[in-house]
Amino acid sequence: MVMVTKQQYVEYLICTIGNYTGSHLAEHLDEVSHDVVTNYLRSEHLTAHGIWELVDRLIQDSPEAFMLVDDSVQDKRYSQFIELVKLQYSGTEHGLVRGIGIVNLVHSAGDKQDFYPIDYRIYAPDQDGKTKNEHFSEMVINAVYAKKIKAKRILFDSWYASAENLKLVHRLGLIFFTTLKSNRMVSLSKEGGWIHLDEMEWTTERIHNGVRIKLKEVPFKVQLFKVVATDGDIDWVITNCPDETLTTQAAQEANDVRWQIEELHRGLKQLTGTEKCQCRKGRSQRNHIACCYHAWLSLKVMAKTLGKTLYQTKDKLLSDYLRAELAAPRIQAFLPA
């Protein structure tokens, strides 16, 4: 009986354009049926550890490196019978959507430097009872103690900026840069009591250098920065960095490295089809997603070798096909006699 291998499935994800289904793969593999592809996805037990084994030797790890945490929703709004799908908030949609949530941990050498996923977790509270914050803490602890990651700076958005997460990161000896929602309670002094973040007064000095504050339920002080974007949007950035000379610009530059995890999310969806698997079983979805990470990594390695982006690297596959067809068309234009 002809079988499908992981290598074949990953290479299919790399080279296919737009269609990432098992039936489409079966149509392009000799003597392979749709059932064979379905059985492969049901029988494997692929996990994030497989990705770590591949990227361990690729990351540029040092105390100056970063870890980035964020989640992404694989849109399954039209899927009624797929396991792991649940209604959840999507930052891309700015609202609730039915989908499969993934919490990612990415290692970055810094702004405009290499970045790679080193861990991820499927958000499936109905199956394992774990919240996104629990996945956050497990991955960070595993990175420090099991993976021995040297990176000392960690970035995440306001969703993960709970008091418990901030205390955990601080205990691990990591420097966090994260954002806060404007309704968080802060204190400038014992005498001043607690106020909402957006009620603070901002002098020129505070705008440039930030201000030391106390967050409610957090036992240590943090530096708060008001970062105003060109369109007027405000990010409230905090850090436990002990460097008292840190400026708002420096904090913003560090926090901006977090954008790389958005690049990963977009690349996984657009280049490897993380959202496109139509299998109903949760195990099949998990295996498909694991193969998507492997496909993304394969594109990343080739793109670095070629000195191109991941999108240029994948587009080259179609470009080579078009060049060959234009040079010797197998279907020629029908012309009048």
pTM across the whole model:
0.94
Whether the CB-CB separation of 83 and 286 falls below 8 Å is answered with no
DSSP 303: H
Q: Tell me the residue length of the chain.
A: 337
Task: Return the H-helix or E-strand segment holding 285.
Answer: helix 282-306
Residue 176 CA to residue 185 CA, distance in Å, equals: 19
How many angstroms separate the CA atoms of 336 and 75, rounded? 48
> pLDDT tens digits for the chain (337 residues)?
578 999 999 999 999 988 999 899 999 988 888 899 999 999 999 999 999 999 999 999 999 999 999 999 999 988 888 999 999 988 778 889 999 999 999 999 998 889 999 999 999 999 999 999 999 999 999 999 999 999 999 999 999 999 999 999 999 999 999 999 988 999 988 877 899 888 889 999 999 999 999 999 999 999 999 998 878 888 999 999 998 889 999 999 999 999 999 999 999 999 999 999 999 999 999 999 999 999 999 999 999 999 999 999 999 999 999 999 999 999 999 999 8
Instruction: Quickly tell me which residue has 């405009």 as its tokens.
Output: 112
Q: Which of 14, 131, 113 is nearest to 66 (CA)?
A: 113
Inter-residue contact 133 to 122 (CB < 8 Å): no
